[in-house]
Amino acid sequence: MPVTVTVTGGTDTYTNAVITYVHSVGGLRRTFTSTTAGTSWIDTGWLASPAGSYTITATVTNSSGCSKSKTISVTAASTVGCCLALYPTTTTPLTCAAGSTGCAEVSYKMGNNTCLTSVRVDAMTVSWTDISGNKGAWQTARFNNVNIAAVGTWTTTLSATNPAAGTATKNNFSPGPQVPYTNPMSASNVTTVTYVFDKKAKQGQNRNIYTTNSYTFTLLDSLGTPSDIQTTCTFSNLTIE
């Protein structure tokens, strides 16, 4: 949560600013100090965590050593909106992963251009309708080509209906893949997600539909330490291109 301190109506030379964040129960949670001279300073490192009431105090000092402070009270919620987004944001198709014949592996790209800090993916749910008729069984998912099934297991289902319907859920990522904050997103700074099946997911014009692509993630602080802020977001339906 960015916090900006601005001097209004003053004519001095202002040499530094200090911002403190005091939680009503946990006490002092963060101190931001800038020694850059100016009339405006911004702290982008506050995670507003843990949730609850905060007193935020800004103190500005001029070149003569005189200081003046201003205090506000705010309330931090325990959740945030969805930090993750498809790249490009208008994406609806998945593509065959590199080296994948007939789309036994399908990929798409996502990034984090909303939260001002990295997030850690802790859980994931995927569901699909097997229009291809090949009834491919879920194997795993990869993030930037790293298999996240190395620790923990997937819970999967695959119906005997036609078309078949499948689900895959994993709640025990260890460690969870991280998606850094990057704004604007570009092809060079996003994360490639790959779904891996044991059979082709594409046959002629019959293309599987991925109806649930859901992630639960935790915000990390500037040192990579998990906060207590966790949110789930779900992408729209995806189809194979």
pLDDT tens, position by position, 29-63 = 999 999 999 999 999 888 888 888 999 999 999 99
Q: Are residues 94 and 192 in the same domain?
A: yes
Mean pLDDT of 138-143: 93
Q: How far is CA 191 from CA 7, 45, 52, 78, 109, in A?
A: 40, 23, 33, 26, 5
pLDDT at residue 159 in the model: 96
* Residue that terminates a domain, selected from 32, 54, 76: 76
Q: Are residues 68 and 163 in the same domain?
A: no
Q: Are residues 39 and 90 in the same domain?
A: no
Q: Are residues 187 and 105 in the same domain?
A: yes
Q: Are residues 9 and 96 in the same domain?
A: no
Q: What is the overall mean pLDDT for the chain?
A: 90
* Residue that terminates a domain, selected from 42, 76, 110: 76
Q: Are residues 131 and 70 in the same domain?
A: no
Task: Pick the more confident residue, 237 or 175.
Answer: 237
Domain with 218 in it: 84-240
Q: Are residues 120 and 221 in the same domain?
A: yes
Asked whether the beta carbons of 47 and 221 are under 8 A apart, the reply is yes
pLDDT at residue 91 in the model: 74
Asked whether the beta carbons of 179 and 118 are under 8 A apart, the reply is yes
pLDDT of 28 > 80? The answer is yes
| Predicted TM-score of the model (pTM) | 0.74
Q: Are residues 108 and 165 in the same domain?
A: yes
Q: Are residues 132 and 234 in the same domain?
A: yes
Distance CA 49, CA 25 (A): 12
pLDDT of 241 > 80? The answer is no
Mean pLDDT of 222-233: 84
Q: Are residues 9 and 103 in the same domain?
A: no
Q: Report pLDDT digits (tens) over 59-97.
A: 999 999 999 999 999 998 777 788 899 999 877 788 888
Mean pLDDT of 20-37: 96
Q: Are residues 119 and 215 in the same domain?
A: yes
φ/ψ region of 195 (left if φ > 0, alpha if ψ in -120 to 50, else beta) reads beta
Q: In CATH, what number is assigned to the domain containing residue 39?
A: 2.60.40
Q: What percent of the chain has pLDDT over 70?
A: 97
* Residue that terminates a domain, selected from 76, 98, 131: 76
Q: Are residues 162 and 56 in the same domain?
A: no
Distance CA 63, CA 79 (A): 41
pLDDT of 205 > 80? The answer is no
pLDDT band at residue 150, thresholds of 50, 70 and 90? low
Secondary structure in 3-state letters for the chain: CCEEEECCCCCCCEEEEEEEEEECCCEEEEEEEECCCCCEEEECCCCCCCCEEEEEEEEEEECCCCEEEEEEEEEECCCCCCCEEEECCCCCEEEECCCCCCCCEEEEEEEECCCCCCEEEEEEEEEEEECCCCCCCEEEEEECCEECCCCCCCEEEECCCCCEEEEEEECCCCCCCEECECCCCCCCCCEEEEEEECCCCEECCEECEEEEEEEEEEEECCCCCEEEEEEEEEECCEEEC
Number of domains the chain is built from: 2
Distance CA 26, CA 238 (A): 43
